[in-house]
């Protein structure tokens, strides 16, 4: 079952204590697609500008990603710049330039309106809503967002939240959205806004799934060397939605637990290099080897 993703395809400038990258391929939809490709074909809904390097499109195409709905518009590509503190857990956004995304009005091709697994990657919530309006019978919809939209476009974000099955947030976003400092009470408040599952991403400490019926915590895949955490959340989402898209019931607790394990494994490749370099190289076999190691890690 193909997966539909709407999100950013970007040029990122990132600085970490271990180096920096300038105008490198990034964007929430790019990282998601590079991870989800291991499980199902991916259709990307996004826009890039005239300055977007053709080799990046080639790389995305090389993943088998359907780019027929990727618009090429007049103007500059979305740009984001960020900097990480020494511990890699704190990130400061230095610059966000929406550029061609400011006027983007996605029009899905008829065959894409039939897709059932949808990832609303980090982008303006109005665009997320717009895409959801066009999908006829979504089976499982996952939403990602960030401070930028929680603070700047809250009303539209609340509309989106009411329409999705699961939402991915980090601690800070969960607090900002709910007004609660405790993540479990924050998740309960977020569930009252619509989603039946809240995934709290905890960086190097993994992720916590919080639903009415269960709580599940999965560690991050242990790595001795991390270069750049950018895109970890999107790669997690790629593994998470990717796994669900291959199964029968995306609301089944065991399926969701396994999906989270697939998520942290995909995220582990994203953080091993700047941009998409390592994630793009990862093979399905490498994914399976890390899944096996993760299973052993939590055995007792
Ligand atoms: P993550 O590290 O998973 O939060 O994702 C980082 C990616 O999100 C980067 O590649 C950025 O290009 C992209 N990004 C950052 N801010 C935004 C934003 N406001 N809207 C859409 N995408 C963004």
State pTM to two decimals. 0.97
- Return the pLDDT at 78: 98
Atom of ligand 1 nearest to the CA of 79: 12
User: Which residue's alpha carbon is at the smallest distance from atom 18 of ligand 1?
Assistant: 123
The C-alpha atoms of residue 28 and residue 182 are separated, in whole angstroms, by 27
Rounded to an integer, the average pLDDT of 86-96 is 92
- Phi, psi (degrees; rounded to nearest 5) at 85: -75, 175
Q: Which residues contact 271 (CB under 8 A, 6 or more apart)?
A: 223, 226, 227, 228, 229, 231, 232
Question: Is 27's C-beta closer than 6 angstroms to any atom of ligand 1?
Answer: yes
User: Which residue's alpha carbon is at the smallest distance from atom 11 of ligand 1?
Assistant: 27
In the chain the beta strands, taken as DSSP E runs, fall at: 3-6, 10-16, 19-26, 42-48, 70-72, 79-84, 91-97, 117-120, 140-144, 166-170, 197-201, 207-211, 215-218
Name the DSSP letter for residue 66. Answer: B
261 CB burial (10 A radius; 0-12, 13-18, 19+): buried
Q: How confident is the model at residue 248 (pLDDT cuts 50, 70, 90)?
A: confident
Length of the chain: 300
The C-alpha atoms of residue 174 and residue 216 are separated, in whole angstroms, by 17
Tokens of 177: 């959205």
User: Which residue's alpha carbon is at the smallest distance from atom 6 of ligand 1?
Assistant: 231
Atom of ligand 1 nearest to the CA of 26: 10
Mutation test residue for ligand 1: of 10, 153, 235, 236, the one with most atoms within 8 Å of CB: 10
The C-alpha atoms of residue 235 and residue 136 are separated, in whole angstroms, by 26
Q: Report how far ligand 1's centroid is from the alpha carbon of 80 (Å).
A: 7
Question: Is 198's C-beta closer than 6 angstroms to any atom of ligand 1?
Answer: no
pLDDT digits (tens, 9 = 90+) for 176-194: 999 999 999 999 999 999 9
pLDDT of 173 > 90? The answer is yes
Rounded to an integer, the average pLDDT of 59-82 is 96
Rounded to an integer, the average pLDDT of 244-251 is 94
Q: Report how far ligand 1's centroid is from the alpha carbon of 296 (Å).
A: 32
Question: In the sheet where 197-201 sits, what is the strand order?
Answer: 70-72, 42-48, 3-6, 117-120, 140-144, 166-170, 197-201, 207-211, 215-218
Mutation test residue for ligand 1: of 11, 22, 27, 275, the one with most atoms within 8 Å of CB: 27
Question: Is 232's C-beta closer than 6 angstroms to any atom of ligand 1?
Answer: yes
Atom of ligand 1 nearest to the CA of 230: 2
Tokens of 209: 């799934």
Q: What percent of the chain has pLDDT over 70?
A: 100
pLDDT digits (tens, 9 = 90+) for 266-299: 999 999 999 999 999 999 999 999 999 999 999 9
How many CB atoms neighbour CB 133 within 10 A? 11
How many CB atoms neighbour CB 211 within 10 A? 18
Q: How confident is the model at residue 1 (pLDDT cuts 50, 70, 90)?
A: confident
User: Is 270 in contact with 31 (CB distance < 8 Å)?
Assistant: yes
Mutation test residue for ligand 1: of 5, 7, 8, the one with most atoms within 8 Å of CB: 8
Mutation test residue for ligand 1: of 80, 151, 235, the one with most atoms within 8 Å of CB: 80
Looking up tokens 């709407």, which residue turns up?
A: 6
Atom of ligand 1 nearest to the CA of 122: 21
**What separation in angstroms does the CA of 153 have from each of 78, 85, 126, 162, 177?**
18, 27, 8, 15, 11
């Amino acid at each position: 079952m193909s997966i539909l993703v709407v999100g950013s395809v970007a040029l990122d400038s990132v600085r970490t204590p271990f180096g920096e990258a300038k105008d490198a391929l990034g964007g929430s939809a790019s990282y998601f697609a590079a991870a989800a490709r291991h499980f199902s074909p991916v259709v990307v809904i996004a826009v890039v500008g005239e300055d977007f390097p053709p080799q990046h499109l080639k790389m995305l195409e090389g993943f088998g990603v359907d780019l027929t709905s990727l618009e090429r518009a007049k103007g500059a590509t979305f740009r984001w710049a960020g900097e990480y503190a020494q511990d890699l857990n704190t990130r400061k956004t230095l610059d966000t330039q929406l550029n061609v995304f400011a006027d983007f009005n996605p029009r899905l091709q008829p065959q894409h309106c039939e897709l059932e697994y949808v990832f609303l990657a980090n982008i303006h919530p109005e665009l997320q809503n717009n895409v959801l309006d066009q999908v006829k019978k979504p089976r499982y919809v996952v939403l990602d967002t960030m401070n930028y939209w929680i603070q700047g476009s809250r009303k539209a974000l609340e509309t989106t939240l009411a329409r999705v099955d699961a939402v991915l947030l980090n601690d800070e976003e969960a607090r900002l959205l709910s007004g609660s400092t405790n993540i479990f009470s924050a998740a309960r408040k977020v569930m009252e806004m619509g989603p039946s599952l809240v995934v709290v991403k905890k960086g190097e400490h993994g992720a916590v799934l919080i639903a009415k019926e269960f709580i599940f915590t999965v560690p991050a895949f242990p790595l001795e060397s991390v270069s750049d955490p950018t895109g970890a959340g999107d790669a997690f989402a790629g593994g998470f939605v990717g796994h669900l898209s291959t199964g029968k019931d995306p609301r089944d607790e065991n399926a969701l637990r396994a999906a989270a394990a697939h998520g942290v494994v995909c995220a582990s490749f994203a953080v091993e290099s700047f941009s998409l370099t390592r994630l793009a190289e990862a093979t399905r076999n490498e994914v399976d080897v890390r899944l096996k190691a993760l299973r052993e890690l939590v055995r007792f």
